[in-house]
Amino acid sequence: MRYFPHTGEDIKEMLEEIGLGSLDDLFGPIPEDCRRHGELDLPGPLTEWELNARMDALANEMAVPPDYRVFLGAGSYNHFVPEVVRQLLLRSEFYTAYTPYQPEISQGTLQAVYEYQTLTTRLLGMEVANASMYDGASALAEALLMAIRVTRRQKVAVSRLVHPFYRNVVQTYLAAPGYEVVELPYRENGTTDLSGLQDLEEYAAVAVQSPNFFGCIEDLESQGKTVHSDQKTLFVVTFSEPLAYGLVKPPGELGADIACGEGQSLGIPQSFGGPGLGLFATRQKFVRSMPGRLVGRTTDKDGRPGFVLTLATREQHIRRERATSNICSNHGLCALAATMYMACVGGTGFRDLAQLNHDKAEYLKDGLRKSRAEIPFAAPTFNEFVVRFPAGFEATRDRLLEKKMVAGIPLSPFYPEFPDHYLLCATEANTREDMDALIKEVGS
């Protein structure tokens, strides 16, 4: 028997309170093609072995490594996860740990978060990091809301080369309060154009992504100086591939006031898009406006070291109207995975791994350039880049898919002005043989 906690009268009263006539009106903002009408078509009960066979059959429909040679990035990257990370993460004291509502008896969890914060600040070149957020998109949206709180301004500028999904989330977050989002154009070389940004004193923040969605590395130092020509406007740098900071200077060293983005590359499997990890770091002077929680290290009355929730400006901890965010938890297990990954790989290993990603992408880029492809953007890239293939490449891509090779994603759904342009990625998981096979197929 299904249980409904609300009576028809309850529902009617709540709808009237918010000025809606029906439940369909309540779900009006959701596009029609995203809604399900009718009951779910679920199969009947299965035996254990039938269920295993069913799941295997579904899995075989997915074009994923190692069965497929995949050259996809766009915010989710195929990196090797050291086995030590996988095994340690499965320990029961880590795997079952929950939000530390009673810090005094959650020392292990708090220490792990403290180590995560330390490594995150080192990676991003910032002064303070929170205990993590949901993903890169929510981290960027929270960063812009934070900038609005700090500056008390109602307008933000976001580069059009920020990941399209991130921009969608930003619009969702900022639409209801009535904040204005202005999109910045891009240059011919594949980087953000700030030249048309006028009246900076109106903006709470300017946000760019580096490497951006085209894979190009932005000139953050120059952009930061432009943004800081107004003393109050904050410079926000987001990212989807943190491994790039093993080679290029981190945002904090180039003038960023807030650095935020996706941490999936740091020891977290792709898992068909989630869960991810929202990295978030800022300057010490903005710490009280930072969303989420902050763990600190201290000593008890006997002088013994311990860890505490130093700052927790969430609505669970303080009055709702004073909370910096309505996010009520953090991706603790994913943050722990990232901590283990960064500690395991180490500074030298991180740099070597980044170099390997860069070199493999350059090898693939050069090989495609020598075949029938064009590289439209001149700006330097890290491990992904845009390629313009001859007209009709869709048929070639379908043929490659039949050969278990995924040759990038088309840009046209996100940027209609770029037909026949594809975003390709190469990481340490792509072998030279894989790349040579792709180059040969494209050139044939």
Residues 295 and 272 placed together within one structural domain of the fold = yes
75 and 92 belong to one structural domain: no
Task: Print burial letters for 213-226: b (CB count within 10 Å at least 16), e (below 16).
Answer: bbbbbbbbeebbeb
Q: Give the tokens for residue 324.
A: 């910096």
- With 60 as the cut, is the pLDDT of residue 1 above it? no
Is 258 in contact with 129 (CB distance < 8 Å)?
no
Percent of the chain clearing pLDDT 70 (strictly above): 96
How far, in Å, CA of 108 to CA of 117, rounded? 14
The last residue of one of the domains, among 293, 313, 342, is 342
Ramachandran quadrant class, 153 (left: phi over 0; alpha: psi -120 to 50; beta: rest)? beta
- The whole-angstrom separation of Cα 13 and Cα 20 is 10
398 shares a domain with 303: no
Residues 230 and 362 in one domain: no
Nearest by Cα to 71 from 443, 431, 440: 431
CA distance 331 to 165: 19
Owning domain of residue 405: 69-82+346-443
User: Does residue 167 sit within a domain?
Assistant: yes
Same domain (yes/no): 317, 171 = yes
Q: Give me the number of domains the chain comprises.
A: 2
Residues 93 and 146 in one domain: yes
Q: Residue range 201-219: average pLDDT?
A: 97
Q: Are 275 and 304 contained in the same domain?
A: yes
Confidence band, pLDDT 50/70/90 cuts, at residue 415: very high
- Which of 410, 435, 443, 440 lies closest to 69, judged by CA? 435
Distance of CA 214 to the CA centre of its chain: 15
Assess whether 118 and 248 both reside in one domain. yes
Task: Identify whether residues 334 and 369 lie together within a single domain.
Answer: no
- Domain of 74, CATH number, reads 3.90.1150.10
**What is the CATH number for 246?**
3.40.640.10
When pLDDT is averaged across residues 320-349 and rounded to a whole number, the result is 86
Same domain, 226 and 276: yes
Asked if residue 241 and residue 117 are part of one domain, the reply reads yes
Residues 311 and 203 in one domain: yes
Quick: pLDDT tens for 147-171: 999 999 999 999 999 999 999 999 9
Task: Evaluate whether residue 46 is within a structural domain.
Answer: no
- Chosen domain end from 342, 374, 389: 342
